[in-house]
Chain A
Amino acid sequence: MAATELSFYDRISDALANPDGQLAIAAGAKAKYDNRARAMSEFPSMEMTRDRARSIRAHTLSQLDKFLAEFADNVEALGGHIFWAKNAQECNQYINEIARAKDVQLVAKAKSMLTEEISLNQSLETSGIDVVETDLGEFIVQLSGDKPSHIIAPILHMTREDVGNVFQEKLNVPFSDDPATLNAIARAHMREIFLKADMGISGVNFGVSESGAICLVTNEGNGRLISTAPRIHVAVMGMERLVPTLADLSIMLQLLARSATGQKLSVYSNILCGPRRKNESDGPEELHIVILDNGRSEILGSALSEILYCIRCGACLNACPVFHSIGGHAYGSVYPGPVGSVLSPLLFGDPWNPLPHASSLCGACKEVCPVDIDLPGLLLKSRSQQITKGKSPLWMQLSQWIYAITSCNPILFGLALRSGQVVSRLLAYDGWFTTLPGPLQGWSTHRDFPALAQKSFRQLWDKPSQG
């Protein structure tokens, strides 16, 4: 991923300057958050299932090499091809090569954040191949030349009117903001694509090591169509997305749907085992599974490895008050919200370093995470790693040392309190400061700051009568 032109701070300002977009995002995220809460309250063994899911993820990642090898062997035994891609370039190149060798003109795609991560569409389009997103939200994003703003709900930032306008302009149909009408238009357009496409490309929600099966979860059935109708199916899987057994998969699916949308189960959960066999009447002639590293094996060996537990449900985005305020685009990464703030600097490098600081550490994300990832803890670790690597402004390093030295010496601390009292007496008005100097001015753009009490608690303790 390339860094976007605007800085994170500029994108935040832009997002906050658009109250309509902010409202759409907050309302959409809140609705999903409420749906999740309702689904979980009706799920009696929720805590137990969550613990189980977490231990499945931990167990899988602790022996990932073993499970990956088992998965790959089983896929090949089923007649599928495995390609190990170290990075985005290797992955895109491999898929381009298959497309060229098999004379692919049209690709039908299911929604996959991983393919967004590696800009696969652009890579194929550069080679002259048509790529059509078949998930409704992704299709709208593609038509409007936009980017997804949420890992589950790509058009969370758009209103019905926005969608109507995009359809009118790009598909040359009369304007409508009626969801059923819009759906029917997309469906008619899409049928053609499914039938004509030479290659279907999907992500993988979970790979199952014991059988070499892959599971695709959709609500629209497009995943099933693109993985069965075209003659070639390419599935791109992040190397961490495995479960050891089918029984483990059932635990994950129960939590994934509830956490993402509040459904007990997604409408379509397809478990696909290899390409079409001799006696079968449908399915792709070829199945290629690309297992992509793209920085993940380094994360696996790091202090932040817990972020790889993530099953991409988006619940942490929906719970996050920061995400509610600025939406997904402001993060400038395919992975926004709390999970994205941890992942993006790891996957995409230093330009994303400000993201882990965009959190008040309120903990709402950890509360809803289906695999109980300690997201606030990981954000803190990410921050401290930046400090260790010397990537914080000099003024902040200096002020943190002054603050620490003062706090470790009660005499200095007492003096600091007294100086603060003098400054307050001289400069505060009616007990408050309305502007703060230098690096602290951020505070006073939105709120006043209280003057220090003229007698601190420690002074009152000595002479309580002065209180």
Chain B
Amino acid sequence: MTKTKKSITQLLVTCMVDAIRPQVGTAVKTILNKNGCEVEFPKQQTCCGQPAFNAGFLKQARAMARHTIDVFTNTSGPVVVPSGSCTDMIVHHYPELLKSDPVYSSKAKKLSDRTYEFTQFLVDKLGLTNVGAKYNGNTTYHPCCHGLRNLNLVQQPSTLLDNVEDLEQVVLPCAEECCGFGGLFSVRMSEISGAMLDKKLSHVEETGANVLIAGDVGCIIHMQGGLRRRGSNIQVKHIAEILNGCD
């Protein structure tokens, strides 16, 4: 474990973690604390606005982007987000959305520059490869699309998982195919989304794993909800839960 000075980090926990899987936020905080980071949680934070943005509602998305920027503007240190998708929203789409806003364009750029996805922060910023976790389970990993393609999260999660003690990993066939979540897509185009989900879950079942690991709670509840509907006992966990070593 790298010894670093106690440095302040901001936790942007995401609305999904906040409301549905708070244990992911707790795991992130614990891991960051263990690795020399003091964690602050600005309580004014809500939702980054991605669902509105993806549905094409730019006015609403801009309002939420400005709110999120305001919440973090007067804080210090890097902003850590346990979601590739929300990180992508802040890092890539905030500056684009607010580029003609005289007040917020520079603020958006500043927030973008200091925002990191959780595994990206651990590996690229803290220089960690092993967080000292132990997890006894037969697992497979699904790389969520926005993290994979827009943030190039490939090495970071795999390095961290490879160093988890006792963790058995089976390669997921067609791992890079989307699970069909896509936010409002899963409601509005539910049949297509359902067909994509079925393919994904059949591949997951093929692996024989009893735990599916992913990095985005949106995709996690989508796949867990689908597995439950199929009567499967496979559990879908956020990578932070695995790295926190909670069996």
Which A residues form the contact surface with B (CB < 8 A)? 9, 12-13, 16, 22, 321-322, 324-326, 357-364, 366-367, 380, 382-387, 392, 396-397, 400-401, 403-404, 406-410, 413, 417, 420, 432, 439-440, 442-443, 445-450, 452-453, 455-461, 464, 467
Query: Is the C-beta of B43 less than 8 angstroms from some C-beta in chain A?
Result: yes
B20:A446 contact, CB within 8 angstroms: no
Closest 4 CB pairs of A and B: A360-B182, A383-B56, A442-B190, A446-B194
Contact of B149 among A367, A380, A400 (CB under 8 A): A367
B187:A366 contact, CB within 8 angstroms: no
A387:B44 contact, CB within 8 angstroms: no
Contact of B181 among A322, A360, A442, A457 (CB under 8 A): A360
Contacts A/B (CB < 8 Å), 17 sampled: A325-B192, A359-B182, A360-B181, A385-B56, A404-B57, A404-B60, A432-B225, A443-B186, A443-B190, A447-B194, A452-B19, A453-B23, A456-B18, A456-B19, A456-B22, A457-B18, A460-B25
A383-B56, A387-B55, A457-B25 known; 10 new pairs, CB 8 Å cut-off, are A16-B195, A326-B195, A364-B145, A404-B49, A404-B59, A407-B15, A443-B225, A445-B190, A446-B197, A461-B41
B22:A442 contact, CB within 8 angstroms: no
State the Cβ distance, B229 to closest chain A Cβ, in Å. Answer: 5
The B4-20 residues at the A interface (CB cut-off 8 A) are: 13, 15, 17-20
Contact of A447 among B43, B49, B197 (CB under 8 A): B197
Query: Is the C-beta of B58 less than 8 angstroms from some C-beta in chain A?
Result: yes
A413 to B60 CA separation, bound complex (whole angstroms):
15
B187:A442 contact, CB within 8 angstroms: yes
What residue of chain A has the Cβ atom nearest to residue B58's Cβ?
A: A384
A44 to B211 CA separation, bound complex (whole angstroms):
38
List the B side residues contacting A450 at CB < 8 Å.
20, 221, 224-225
Query: Is the C-beta of B54 less than 8 angstroms from some C-beta in chain A?
Result: yes
Contact of A362 among B19, B47, B178, B226 (CB under 8 A): B178
A455:B22 contact, CB within 8 angstroms: yes
B149:A362 contact, CB within 8 angstroms: yes
Please encode chain B, from 188 to 201, with 1 for each CB lying within 8 Å of some chain A CB and 0 for all others: 11111111111100
How many contacts A-B (CB < 8 Å)? 194
Main secondary structure of the interface of B (DSSP, over half): helix
B182:A457 contact, CB within 8 angstroms: no
What residue of chain B has the Cβ atom nearest to residue A445's Cβ?
A: B190
A12 to B185 CA separation, bound complex (whole angstroms):
14
A413:B55 contact, CB within 8 angstroms: no
A364:B58 contact, CB within 8 angstroms: no
Query: Is the C-beta of B159 less than 8 angstroms from some C-beta in chain A?
Result: no
A447 to B196 CA separation, bound complex (whole angstroms):
12
A404:B145 contact, CB within 8 angstroms: no
A452 to B15 CA separation, bound complex (whole angstroms):
11
B56:A384 contact, CB within 8 angstroms: yes
Query: Is the C-beta of B202 less than 8 angstroms from some C-beta in chain A?
Result: no
B195:A325 contact, CB within 8 angstroms: yes
What residue of chain B has the Cβ atom nearest to residue A13's Cβ?
A: B191
A362 to B197 CA separation, bound complex (whole angstroms):
13
What residue of chain A has the Cβ atom nearest to residue B29's Cβ?
A: A461
A361:B64 contact, CB within 8 angstroms: no
Q: A407-B47, A448-B225 are in contact. Are A387 and B191 (CB under 8 A)?
A: no
Please encode chain B, from 160 to 194, with 1 for each CB lying within 8 Å of some chain A CB and 0 for all others: 00000000000000001110111001111111111
Query: Is the C-beta of B142 less than 8 angstroms from some C-beta in chain A?
Result: no
Query: Is the C-beta of B203 less than 8 angstroms from some C-beta in chain A?
Result: no
A358:B192 contact, CB within 8 angstroms: yes
What residue of chain B has the Cβ atom nearest to residue A386's Cβ?
A: B56
A380:B13 contact, CB within 8 angstroms: no
Contact of A407 among B41, B64, B189, B226 (CB under 8 A): B64
B189:A358 contact, CB within 8 angstroms: yes
B187:A457 contact, CB within 8 angstroms: no
List the A side residues contacting B222 at CB < 8 Å.
447
List the A side residues contacting B53 at CB < 8 Å.
380
A357:B46 contact, CB within 8 angstroms: no
A11 to B218 CA separation, bound complex (whole angstroms):
28
A387:B57 contact, CB within 8 angstroms: yes
Contact of A12 among B15, B59, B191 (CB under 8 A): B191
A13 to B191 CA separation, bound complex (whole angstroms):
7
Please encode chain B, from 222 to 239, with 1 for each CB lying within 8 Å of some chain A CB and 0 for all others: 101110110000000000
A325 to B179 CA separation, bound complex (whole angstroms):
12
List the B side residues contacting A404 at CB < 8 Å.
49, 52, 57, 59-61, 63-64
A459 to B63 CA separation, bound complex (whole angstroms):
25
List the B side residues contacting A443 at CB < 8 Å.
186-187, 190, 225
B64:A380 contact, CB within 8 angstroms: no
List the A side residues contacting B178 at CB < 8 Å.
321, 360, 362, 364
Q: A387-B57, A443-B190 are in contact. Are A357 and B226 (CB under 8 A)?
A: no
List the B side residues contacting A382 at CB < 8 Å.
56
What residue of chain A has the Cβ atom nearest to residue B64's Cβ?
A: A407
What residue of chain A has the Cβ atom nearest to residue B47's Cβ?
A: A407
Query: Is the C-beta of B134 less than 8 angstroms from some C-beta in chain A?
Result: no
What residue of chain A has the Cβ atom nearest to residue B96's Cβ?
A: A377
Q: A404-B64, A408-B64, A447-B229 are in contact. Are A453 and B20 (CB under 8 A)?
A: yes
A363:B221 contact, CB within 8 angstroms: no
A384 to B52 CA separation, bound complex (whole angstroms):
10
Most buried by B among A322, A380, A449, A464: A322
Q: A432-B225, A448-B229 are in contact. Are A366 and B58 (CB under 8 A)?
A: no
List the B side residues contacting A467 at CB < 8 Å.
22-23, 26
What residue of chain A has the Cβ atom nearest to residue B60's Cβ?
A: A404
A383 to B41 CA separation, bound complex (whole angstroms):
34
What residue of chain A has the Cβ atom nearest to residue B148's Cβ?
A: A363
List the B side residues contacting A367 at CB < 8 Å.
149
Query: Is the C-beta of B21 less than 8 angstroms from some C-beta in chain A?
Result: yes
What residue of chain A has the Cβ atom nearest to residue B28's Cβ?
A: A457
B19:A420 contact, CB within 8 angstroms: yes
Contact of B26 among A406, A410, A446, A457 (CB under 8 A): A457
What residue of chain A has the Cβ atom nearest to residue B22's Cβ?
A: A457
B180:A321 contact, CB within 8 angstroms: yes
Query: Is the C-beta of B51 less than 8 angstroms from some C-beta in chain A?
Result: yes
Query: Is the C-beta of B106 less than 8 angstroms from some C-beta in chain A?
Result: no
A193 to B188 CA separation, bound complex (whole angstroms):
48
Contact of A357 among B58, B181, B189, B195 (CB under 8 A): B189
B182:A361 contact, CB within 8 angstroms: yes
Q: A417-B18, A457-B13 are in contact. Are A363 and B149 (CB under 8 A)?
A: yes
